[in-house]
Structure formats: C-alpha cells, structure tokens
C-alpha cells in the first residue's frame, strides 16, 4: 500500500473496487492535512456517488472522519448516554422537548445540533430565540452539564469531525450530497464524536424531507443502523411522516413555544406522538425501560409531574438563558402583528405542502438560504387547522406572524396555495422502524 498514490486509490473506487480501512484513513488524513487537493477529493466523492461503498468501507469512512478531530470523553457520566438525530423537516422542534424529558427519566442526552438551511429549520436557531441562551459551550462545559443537568444542547465545535465539514462543503457544490454512504458517514461521524452509547435516528420521509419516498428513507435508515452498529454503538431508526409540517408552527420562537407546550402536557397530537415515540426508543436503548409501554409511561409521568419542564429550566439557566420562559412563554420574541390567511373555499383539508410552508417561512426571515445569514426569531407561520379538519369559506387556515402587515399579500397567497382540499385519508405518523 505504501507505493499507492492518492490517484491510485481514486481509480480503485472509480472502477468499482473496495478500499481497505487503512486506505480510506489515508484519504481522509491527506485531505484534512491539505495534502490531497479539493479537486481530488471531489473526484473521490463522485466515484463513491456512482460506485457506492460496502458497509465495511462506510464504517471505515465514518471512523476516519470521526478520528479527524476530538472525540468527547463522557466516561465519567454514570448514566447511559443516548442522543437523537433528525434528518430534517418542517416544524420539527422535537429536540427541544425531547432532550429534557429523556433526561428527566434517567438517560443523559448529549445533543449537538445544527442550524436551519434551506426549507428546514434548525434546533440551534429555535433555542437562540430564548433570551440569553448560548449554544456555543466549550467541551468541558458540555461534559459538565451532561453530567450535572442530564443534557446540554450545543452547536458543532470546530474540533469535532473537522473532515466532515470540509467534505460536506465539496459535496454541496459537486452534486454528491445524495450518496447514502456519504450521508451516513457525515451524520454518524458527528454524532459518535459526542461520546454516546446509543443513537436514535428520526428519518423523515415525504415532500418536506430530504428523502421523498419510503424506499429511499428505508435505504438510508438501514444503512445508518448497520454502519452505526458496525461502529460499536446501539442504533435504531424510526421513519416518520413529513408530508405535512410537524405540529402547528413554523418559525423559531413560535416553535420553541410549542415545544414548551408539550412539556406542560399540551401541544399538537402529532408533535406529542413523535416526541414520545423517539423518547421511548431512547429509554429502551439506554436501559431505562424494558418495554415501549413502560418507556412511554415514564415520559408521560415526567410531563405530568413537571420534571421535564424543570430539567429544561435548568438547561436554559446553565446555558445563560432566561429559564422563566418555560412558565411564561410570552417572554419569547414575538411580532406586533398577526395576519389571517383565509380559506377561499369550504372543504376538508387533505394536504398542507411542507416544502412550500418551509420556503415561505424562509422568505419571511425565519430561515436562511446561506449559512452566513441571520434569522428573525419572531416571524413565522402558525397553522390554524391540520389534515382532516373541515373548514368553511372565510375561516382562518393560518396566521402569519409579521412585524408589518403591509405587503404580506404574496406571502398569504403562497400559504393559502399550500393547502389542498378533498376527501381525507389518514396518514400514519410512524412509517416504519429499523433496529440493529
């Protein structure tokens, strides 16, 4: 192997050959060190896109990207450590209520999240709607809060899986984002760097998700479970529907408010069901429950007792925020005006296009199309009805949270057109489950 050049390794993959663990490690090390040019890495990524990778290769790629930076040591945390990762959707604020609920049930949740980009929102942007909340904690603080509070919610540091950041930037501009081995290595390298024992994946499927079909979502979920298990972790995946927004809100502060409602025993049924399903899987992998029914009972008890809300207060306070927002959500940023979007026909709502709702929220300032853009925490879209609801002509379909009501007609038209009417058909939230 010592006589092989990087070009030789690229050729091997281009021609459909399998690379060994040391060969893949060499590619990642060379690129991270600047010895492999970006155009060579792009050629390698394109070869992977067309030729694929075996599970052994994908495990090796994941571990090489993982070892390109710091791996957090949480061995001093006595509790089992389980995280959750969502592949991204519209209205997905689950992490905000899930982490404190699971922590309240005895499982530590070290959670490193991302920002919104494109039509999907980001957990960090929603948390930063809480006055003072600081997602930029260093690793020692992260480790301490996971141990003392039970959870900590931060953004990715520059020391964790730096190879992933460089490679993702190339994937984004070279048309190789969709390659499943590259998706798997990107997700798992960051998550395994957290020092977790187990991982639950929420693989979204539908028009508002990255994976549009059940078949593609299953393929991704299966690959994530196999490779994560091959890397020595307990991993399971739940496929959840993203053919409509999750919950009733799309926007940073209003989504955070809705997640707080779940902690108080309120909130939309679909958001509550998704939170409980993922939380139950986390408790099962963490050994805090032996059956799904027992796990859900524990999570519901943490809601009824208020312990989940108390944990969230402690998290917010520890990360510099105002914990009183948990009991007084009106302290979250808000707009001066709301504008009703009215139905122009009577009927039963059978669809709410999540992609169009997400893109419209971005156009209002709730999201970003470039990583360097700021977001407005207060603006957003609040849905007044969901699929299966009967509405009359002139009845509100949604509320636009805006700073200035003038000039919102084009936005209202986009939101109105996202609703479709007809004969209702029930769509299950849980599409499938994949376990190692």
* Cβ(81)–Cβ(108) below 8 Å: yes
Give the active site residue among 26, 171, 257, 434: 171
C-alpha pair distances (Å), 426 with each of 7, 107, 343, 387, 389 = 53, 34, 22, 8, 11
In sequence order, what are the beta bridge partners of 341? 398
Apex 177 CA angle, 243 and 17, nearest 5: 125
Give the active site residue among 13, 81, 190, 248: 190
Apex 99 CA angle, 95 and 105, nearest 5: 145
Identify whether 218 is a catalytic site residue. no
Question: How many Å is the maximal CA-CA distance in the chain?
Answer: 74
In sequence order, what are the beta bridge partners of 200? 84, 236
Give the active site residue among 13, 31, 79, 85: 85
Interatomic CA distance for residues 100 and 89, integer angstroms: 21
Closest to 348 (Cα-Cα) out of 386, 316, 305? 386
Identify whether 113 is a catalytic site residue. no
- The answer to whether the Cα torsion of 53, 55, 57, 60 is positive or negative is positive
* Cβ(44)–Cβ(12) below 8 Å: no
Give the active site residue among 164, 197, 353, 376: 164
Give the active site residue among 95, 186, 236, 243: 186
Identify whether 257 is a catalytic site residue. no
Interatomic CA distance for residues 287 and 229, integer angstroms: 17
Identify whether 189 is a catalytic site residue. no
Identify whether 248 is a catalytic site residue. no
Please give the positions annotated as active site: 85, 164, 171, 186, 190
């Amino acid at each position: 192997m010592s006589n092989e050049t990087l070009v030789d390794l690229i050729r091997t993959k281009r021609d459909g050959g399998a690379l060994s663990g040391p060969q893949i490690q060499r590619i990642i090390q060379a690129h991270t060190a600047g010895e492999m040019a970006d155009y060579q890495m792009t050629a390698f990524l394109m070869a992977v896109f067309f030729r694929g990778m075996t599970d052994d290769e994908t495990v090796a790629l994941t571990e090489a990207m993982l070892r390109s930076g710091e791996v957090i040591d949480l061995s001093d945390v006595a509790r089992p450590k389980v995280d959750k990762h969502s592949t991204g959707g519209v209205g997905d604020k689950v992490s905000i209520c899930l982490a404190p609920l699971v922590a309240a049930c005895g499982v530590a949740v070290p959670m490193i999240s991302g920002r919104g980009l494109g039509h999907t929102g980001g957990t960090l942007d929603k948390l930063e709607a809480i006055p003072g909340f600081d997602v930029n904690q260093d690793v020692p603080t992260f480790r301490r809060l996971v141990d003392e509070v039970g959870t900590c919610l931060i953004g990715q540091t520059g020391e964790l899986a730096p190879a992933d950041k460089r490679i993702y930037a190339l994937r984004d501009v070279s048309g190789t984002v969709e390659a499943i081995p590259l998706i798997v290595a990107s997700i798992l390298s960051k998550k395994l760097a957290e020092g977790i024992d187990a991982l639950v994946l929420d693989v979204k499927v539908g028009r508002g998700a990255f994976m549009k079909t059940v078949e593609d979502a299953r393929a991704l979920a299966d690959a994530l479970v196999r490779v994560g298990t091959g890397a020595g972790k307990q991993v399971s995946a739940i496929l959840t529907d993203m053919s409509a927004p999750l919950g009733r809100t799309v926007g940073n502060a209003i989504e955070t408010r809705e997640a707080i409602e779940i902690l108080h025993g309120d909130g939309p049924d679909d958001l509550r069901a998704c939170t409980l399903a993922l939380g139950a899987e986390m408790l099962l992998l963490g050994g805090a429950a032996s059956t799904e029914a027992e796990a859900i009972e524990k999570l519901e008890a943490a809601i009824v007792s208020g312990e989940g809300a108390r944990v969230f207060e402690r998290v917010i306070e520890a990360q510099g925020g105002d914990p009183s927002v948990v009991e007084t959500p009106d302290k979250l940023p808000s707009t001066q005006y709301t504008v009703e979007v009215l139905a122009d026909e009577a009927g039963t709502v059978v669809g709410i296009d999540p992609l169009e709702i997400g893109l419209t929220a971005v156009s209002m300032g709730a999201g970003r199309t470039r990583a360097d853009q700021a977001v407005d925490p207060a603006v957003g879209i609040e849905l007044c009805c969901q699929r299966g609801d009967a509405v009359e002509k002139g009845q509100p379909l949604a509320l636009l949270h805006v700073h200035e009501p003038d000039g919102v007609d084009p936005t209202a038209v986009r939101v109105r057109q996202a609703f479709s009417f007809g004969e209702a058909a029930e769509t299950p939230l849980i599409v499938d489950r994949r376990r190692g």
